[in-house]
Structure 1
Amino acid sequence: MKCTFELNSKGYIKQRESFDLEFKQSFHYGDSLALYCRSLVGMANNKGGELIFGIKDSPREPIGLKNDRFENCDPNRINQFLIAFFSHEIHWSIETLEYHGNSFGRISVEESSIKPVVCTAVYKNILREAAIYYRYRGETKEICYPELAAILQAEREKEKLLWLKHVEKIGEVGPQNIHLIDTFNGEISTGKGKILIDKSIVKALKFIKEGEFTEKKGAPTLKLIGEISGEVDTTNIPKTDFLYPYRFANFNEEMGINNFQFQAILWKLDVKGNAKYHTEISVGKSSLTHKYSQAFMDRLKSIMGRYPEWLNKTVEDFKKHRK
C-alpha cells in the first residue's frame, strides 16, 4: 500500500507526534514490543491512532525500514502480548507501506469500545499492574485525573442508555414474559421457578446473547439438570433482528458500498463465522440469509472514517486473493 508524507523544503515531515500519532525509526521485539503495546493501549483509551515505523527522529525524516523484521512480524505475537498484559481486547491492524521506493510500517488501533483498558501484570519497568495508560500529545503515560474522570463519566452514560434499552424492551413484551439468564450462578429465572444449568456449559451461554439459540444451524444444545419447576417460553428468546439488525442492503444504503466491495470487506475483516459481527439464518429449506451486528457497522464506519483509502486497498487485495 502506498502512503504519502507532507514534507518541508528540507525533506523533513511537517507533522508532529500527537495524541493519535507516534513515529518510530525501526521495529524491534523484546522491551520495544512492550512499549509499542503500551502506546497502542494508550491510544485505544483515547480516540485511537497509529504507530509509523521508518521515521528518523530529530529531524523527522522518512528513511524507511532497513530490514524485513516488520514485514515478517507475526501479528499473533503482538496479540498474545496484549492479551497477557491488558484487560480488554482492542481492535488493531498491521500493514507495510511504500513511499519513494522505501518500506514503512504502520500499526493502527481503534478507539476501545470498553474503557478504560487496564494493565493486568508487571513487565519490567515498562508496564505496571493496575495502571491505565493514555495517549497525550506526543507521549503515552499513566492517565491523569481529568481524562480518567471523563472516561468514567462516559462509561456511566453508556450504561444508563443500555439500561434504558432493557427497560424499553421489557415494556414492549411485558414483565411477565421476561426470562433472565444468570450466567454466574447457572440459572434461568422463569417467573415461576428456576431451571439449573450444568456449570460445565455455563460459559457457552454466550451464544444465547449472540442470537444463536434456535436460528443458527449446528448451535450447541443446553443440558438441563435437576428438578424443573417452571417452563421457559422460547418465543421470547432474543430475536435475530434485535441482535443482528443489518443486511447488505443497509450497508449499501448508508455507506454506498456495492456487493463486491462488501465481499472484500467481509474477507479482510474475517467477519463470517465471527458471532460478534455475523450470523446466518435459514430461509426456507435450502436458502440462507446473512445478518450483521451493530458492532460490525460501528467498526466499519470507524475504519472508513479514519482511513479514506482503506476500502480501495481492501478491494485490490481481495482481487489478488481471488486470483
Structure 2
Amino acid sequence: MKCTFELNSKGLIKQRESYDLEFKETFHFGDSLAEYLRSIVGMANNKGGEIIFGIKDKPREPKGLQNNKFEDCDPNKINQFLSQYFSHEVLWGMEVHEYYGKEFGRFWVDEAPQKPIVCTKVYKNILREAAIYYRYRGETKEIAYPELAKILANEREKEKKLWLRHVEKIGQVGPQNIHLIDTFNGEIQTGHGKILLDKTIADKLKFIKEGQFSEKDGAPTLKLVGEVTGIVDTSSVPKTDVLYPYRFGDFKDKFGINNFQFQAILWKLDVKGNPKYHTEISTSKTTSTHKYTKEFSSRIQSIFERYPKWLVETVEEYKKSNR
C-alpha cells in the first residue's frame, strides 16, 4: 500500500488533511507519540485512516523523513500504550514507504470493529479519562453528541443483527443441538451437565472474526489460537451432516435430475455461498465436497410441485447464460 498523496505541478501535495488523513513533518517520541495515538484512535472511531510523516506544513511539501526515529520506534511500546490508555483493541500498523525518491513514515488504522474506543486514564494534558476521541475534517477532538449518537445507534443495530443470526442458526440446527461455550469459566454447557476445560485451553479459545466461517461457507466455529495440547470430547457437538445432510446424489435419486440440471438449479437459485442452503467442505488441500440443507431440498420440491415446467425453463436459461 502506498502513501495516499499526489503532487501538483509545483511539487506540493494536492490533498488537504481530512477525517482520514493527517500529515506530520517529523516523528518524535514522548508526548508527541501520545498525540499521534490520540489521532489514530480518533480515526478508528470514525472510518479509519492514516498519518504520514515527512510532510512539511504551509506549504505541504514532501520532504521525507530526516532521521531514523520512525524506523527505530518499537511497535510493542505503541501496543502497550494503546492497551494501557484505551478500552478496546486498535487495529493499526506502521511502515516506511519510498515515494517520489524519498522515504515517508506511515501510521495506518482500520475502523474499529467495536465502538466507541474510550480513553481509560489521564496522560498529562493530552488524554482525558472517559474521553472519546473522534477524527473530524482536519482535526481530532472529543466527540460531539451527533457523532456519538450515530455510533451508539450503529452498535445497537449490529448487536440486533447478530442476535437475529444466532436465532436463525438455532432454528436451523435445533435448540437441542446448541451448546454454549463459556471461555470465562472454562465450561461447555451441554444440557446434560458441564464439560470442564483446563484454563490454559480456555484462555486460548477465541471467536473467529464475525462473518467468517469454517469449512469455507459453513457454520460459524471457534478458532484455536496457540498450541493446544488438551482434547475436549466433541461427541455432543452437532456434526456437519446435521446441518447439511444432502449431496448431489441424494437430489439425483429424489428428483431424477442429472448433474447439468442440478447445476442449473444452483445457478438459478443462487445457492452456492448461501449458508442457509449450501456449504463447501475441504477434504484435502486440492479437493472439496458440496453439501446442502433440508431447507434447500424442500424448496426444490415446492418449486417442482407448483411449476412443472420450471426445470426445463431454468435449464434453457442456464444454457444461454453459458454461451
Shorter chain as denominator, the TM-score bin is 0.5 to 0.7
The whole-number CA distance in structure 2 between the counterparts of 1:105 and 1:193 is 55
The yes-or-no answer on 1:211 pairing with 2:214 is: no
The whole-number CA distance in structure 2 between the counterparts of 1:220 and 1:212 is 14
The yes-or-no answer on 1:131 pairing with 2:151 is: no
**In the comparison of the two structures, how many residue pairs are matched?**
241
The whole-number CA distance in structure 1 between the counterparts of 2:90 and 2:66 is 29
Shift of 1:199: 5.3
* Paired residues for 1:86-97 under 5 Å: 86-97=86-97
For residue 6 of structure 2, what is the aligned residue in structure 1? 6
Shift of 1:191: 2.2
For residue 230 of structure 2, what is the aligned residue in structure 1? 221
For residue 233 of structure 1, what is the aligned residue in structure 2? 236
TM-score, length of structure 2 as denominator length: 0.64
Larger radius of gyration: 2
The whole-number CA distance in structure 2 between the counterparts of 1:217 and 1:120 is 29
| Unaligned ranges ≥5, structure 2 | 209-219, 245-280, 289-323
| Residues 212 and 219 in structure 1, CA contact (< 8 A), matched pair in contact too | no
For residue 36 of structure 1, what is the aligned residue in structure 2? 36
Shift of 1:207: 7.3
Shift of 1:86: 1.5
* Paired residues for 1:44-123 under 5 Å: 44-123=44-123
2:181 is paired with a residue whose SS is strand
For residue 304 of structure 2, what is the aligned residue in structure 1? none
Shift of 1:50: 0.6
Aligned identity (percent) is 67
The whole-number CA distance in structure 2 between the counterparts of 1:58 and 1:217 is 49
| Unaligned ranges ≥5, structure 1 | 225-230, 242-280, 291-323
The whole-number CA distance in structure 1 between the counterparts of 2:11 and 2:64 is 14
Cα separation, partners in 2 of 1:234 and 1:57, compared to 1, 3 Å: same
The whole-number CA distance in structure 2 between the counterparts of 1:97 and 1:147 is 33
The yes-or-no answer on 1:167 pairing with 2:167 is: yes
Cα separation, partners in 2 of 1:283 and 1:50, compared to 1, 3 Å: same
Tell me the amino acid that sits aligned with residue 58 of structure 2.
Answer: S
Shift of 1:164: 1.0
1:234 is paired with a residue whose SS is coil
TM-score, length of structure 1 as denominator length: 0.64
Cα separation, partners in 2 of 1:80 and 1:119, compared to 1, 3 Å: same
Cα separation, partners in 2 of 1:38 and 1:198, compared to 1, 3 Å: same
Shift of 1:189: 2.2
The whole-number CA distance in structure 1 between the counterparts of 2:77 and 2:151 is 29
1:206 is paired with a residue whose SS is strand
Deviation string for 1:209-248 (max 9, x for gaps)?
Answer: 85357xx996332689xxxxxx9613359x9x9xxxxxxx
| Residues 190 and 232 in structure 1, CA contact (< 8 A), matched pair in contact too | no
Tell me the amino acid that sits aligned with residue 230 of structure 2.
Answer: T
Tell me the amino acid that sits aligned with residue 222 of structure 2.
Answer: G
Tell me the amino acid that sits aligned with residue 221 of structure 1.
Answer: G
Shift of 1:147: 0.7
Deviation string for 1:258-302 (max 9, x for gaps)?
Answer: xxxxxxxxxxxxxxxxxxxxxxx9957xx6999xxxxxxxxxxxx
Shift of 1:39: 0.6
Shift of 1:5: 4.2
| Residues 201 and 228 in structure 2, CA contact (< 8 A), matched pair in contact too | no
Tell me the amino acid that sits aligned with residue 81 of structure 1.
Answer: F
Shift of 1:3: 5.4
Shift of 1:155: 0.9
For residue 320 of structure 1, what is the aligned residue in structure 2? none
